[in-house]
A and B are shown apart, each in its own frame.
Chain A
């Protein structure tokens, strides 16, 4: 039944079936209702599609800053930074320690029966690695000699028992008092001057040791070994472990949002980092940042939770100022209301805040970690800082997940602090997912590095430069598109004027031609009248005019002389093969005897146009396609059905030349056609341009989806319904 009604509504029924159907409708109320319901459903489907259009406009409105400009010159990005400073923390060669000294020191070893390794550390400090992979960082001034900071080269003696077998071999106990300890390794460290004089650890600087473990166990602590009279060791004074992150070269780290590269790889986009950085930077949106700063960073100093936003809307009468200070609430209202806000502080009401919070929770302003803020530190300059570590790489993924630039800023503005200290700050901002990072209990990487102050400043100017660069590209591309559209519209305007002019010209010319022809046939009869039919008097001009306009054959009889004149139009038609594949398809018909010409649009590749039999014609058919032109021409004919015509590929220059030739050779005063050809080439270029823009917009919207996890990306059309 549904099918039948649908066919009826779409007019697909044959006239007989239709009649029967309508008769049935007359007699059946139920059928009438069914038809009506189905008609309404069709209308509602149309309405839903229209709603989709409005959603698109909405999306465009909210995201215009970000996605309006759809493509950007993705080449020629110079990275902002040149080579960074060189750090001399190369691994030291243990063999450079004097052998006799080593023998001497072996007797002083902390742990008996455990071979010692020796490292020569220069005065400025160094980072070395033991045979078992333990990292030992000895900064400048790590040791004291007679209570004073020791300056000079150091020999570090290091013993390690990492594996159970070496622990047993060395006869080490794992007892603390009478408690048995689980161990992840034991080691002894001592420092000596080059002369073999023992040094003490400087408690203000210390030596950092990082032990590789297969598994991170919570609650592992560092115990100090105390030898008893028998020489066996009791482990005492446990302290929590702190780990120093391992610096890695920036070029080995990945700070992009997690889905970014997999997406680009899946569409086989350019692989080099320069291009990918550049594409990433093109999504920079300083406005979005300020919105997120104001809304989330400053007010109310933390993310508004889903729960909060729910009961703010609900009937729950709890006052908002339980959640935030009045001050914050006011800032929030101001932000929500924008610059037009009157600033009436007494009007602080639940309603205003409702709006403010609604805007933050539901705003389509994309909130995300700004690309400029990421790229500004992702370079060699920041090697050997907290940021150039695998540990920070992991955090960066989580930072992208917060979509809050303020979180990133916590890390980039406190390079001296340990990552774990900052993790705790982030947890306090309302991101409990950072607790697991805080628990890693990292130590600061190199708090003494005087370079860091400069780096923080450098970072800020770096962001500005990148933002400026992104803005410039954006402007450049917008200008280019604007100028392109302007020129295209300009050419279209000209084309319309020209076409109107040409159509008038060709009509008037043909009218004159026909007038002369008729006069030639019936003799000199200018201005006299003819009676026609029922005796009404008409002018000869009118007959000729009407015949010319309607392009139909007409016979005119002069009632005085009985002479007849004929204007004859004969059919001319053809069909273009595969007409669908053309962006534009035109036939230019050149009358030999007239100066102007006709341009035919055809219908789905079918052309028919009555030709004046007194005139000889040429035709040129041009099919504009994305990758060039197809062309066909035929000369000197008066009528006929050419059947199906196949256009052949032709170069632009050759097409231009052929049309010019056809146009000129017919008569000496033929009007110019070069403007027309110029317009045709423009239309083709514009088709490509628009296609490129569309593809670029789609691409960018997909990339945006991979870049910004918090951005809502509803697919167009499919999102036509209300959520």
Chain B
């Protein structure tokens, strides 16, 4: 911090200055307190657990939409994933209950899938999902397909990329965990892995 002083524009308030500073300090302390309490105990995981506990409800719901048993839990998990990722978006403001959001996403994902399988005529679908079916969601769907390509590379490659890009672990940590000689080797391996994914994507386009 520099020594430049912020100047008080209103001289009439001078005498009560001390008090003003004190009260603002107190609220900031309170805020800080609340913040630390809220961020306690890795809350996204806790929220996920709470949402997962409602799986039977979602299952029943999806069933009423005609979703087959073996697809339902995949869809539910996909919806949870979408939700968790959406939470990371600083511009995203949750206007509904998290569970409602997830449920609606499930519905969207299921119709989307059903439409692909051409089992359902979904004329009214486009309007119905305006709130979910945005660019962002399209991007998520694209990412999902790239995830598919990722799952085709070797297990070690997958773990390496996930640890680095997903969990943000350092190259030397990863090298140790995967039994690679050092971070340099891990890094070289990382490039090889990315190249492999690119090749798979190339082939898929063809």
Contacts and interface: CB of A to CB of B under 8 A. Distances in A.
B interface: dominant SS: helix
Contact of B146 (A41, A359, A552, A721): A41
Nearest to B165: A45
Given A44-B150, A313-B70, A545 B63 contact: no
Interface string B96-130: 00000000000000000000000000000000000
B1 A552 contact: yes
A720 B162 contact: yes
Contacts of A546: 5-6
Given A496-B37, A504-B26, A552-B3, A54 B198 contact: no
A345 interface: no
Interface string A685-723: 000000000000000000000000000000001101110
A250 B91 CA distance: 68
Contact of A38 (B6, B25, B142, B194): B194
A358 B71 CA distance: 11
Interface in B125-181: 142-144, 146-151, 155, 158-159, 161-167
A37 B190 contact: no
Interface in B1-39: 1-3, 5-9, 11, 14-15, 17-18, 21-22, 25-26, 29-30, 32-33, 36-37
A721 B158 contact: yes
Interface in B79-102: 80-81, 84-85
Interface in A500-520: 500, 503-504, 507-508
B199 to A, nearest CB: 10
Interface in A1-57: 2-3, 6, 37-38, 40-55, 57
A539 B17 contact: yes
A550 B1 contact: yes
A49 B150 contact: no
Given A500-B29, A717-B159, A720-B158, A47 B147 contact: yes
B77 A58 contact: yes
A558 interface: no
A355 interface: yes
B49 interface: yes
Given A6-B191, A61-B53, A61-B55, A721 B7 contact: no
B201 A529 contact: no
A43 B141 CA distance: 12
A81 B149 CA distance: 58
A538 B29 CA distance: 26
A40 B197 CA distance: 11
Nearest to B7: A536
A376 B1 CA distance: 73
B61 interface: no
A532 B84 contact: no
A543 interface: yes
A554 B33 contact: no
A376 B133 CA distance: 58
Contact of A44 (B55, B77, B143, B164): B143
Contact of A354 (B26, B55, B69): B69
B150 A358 contact: no
B68 interface: yes
B8 A54 contact: no
Q: How large is the interface on A (under 10, 10 to 19, 20 to 34, 35 or more residues)?
A: 35 or more
B195 interface: yes
B18 A54 contact: no
Given A57-B45, A538-B7, A527 B70 contact: no
B17 to A, nearest CB: 5
A57 B143 contact: no
Contacts of A48: 147, 150-151, 158, 161-162, 166
Given A58-B52, A338-B56, A504-B25, A51 B81 contact: yes
Contacts of A38: 194, 198
Contacts of A239: none
A140 B156 CA distance: 69
Contacts of B53: 61
Nearest to B188: A3
A537 B11 contact: yes
Contacts of A42: 161, 165
A262 interface: no
A628 interface: no
Contacts of B11: 529, 537
Contacts of B143: 40, 43-44, 47
A47 B81 contact: yes
A506 to B, nearest CB: 12
B7 A2 contact: no
Contacts of A492: 40
B150 A553 contact: no
A60 interface: yes
Given A3-B191, A355-B69, A720-B158, A44 B147 contact: yes
B14 A497 contact: no
Contact of A57 (B26, B48, B162, B194): B48
Interface of B: 1-3, 5-9, 11, 14-15, 17-18, 21-22, 25-26, 29-30, 32-33, 36-37, 40, 45, 48-49, 52-53, 55-56, 60, 63, 68-70, 73-74, 77, 80-81, 84-85, 142-144, 146-151, 155, 158-159, 161-167, 190-191, 194-195, 197-198, 201
Given A37-B198, A61-B49, A496-B33, 5 more contacts: A41-B201, A52-B166, A54-B77, A61-B55, A722-B148
**The 3 A-B residue pairs with the shortest CB-CB distance in the complex, in nearest-first order:** A49-B166, A358-B69, A550-B1
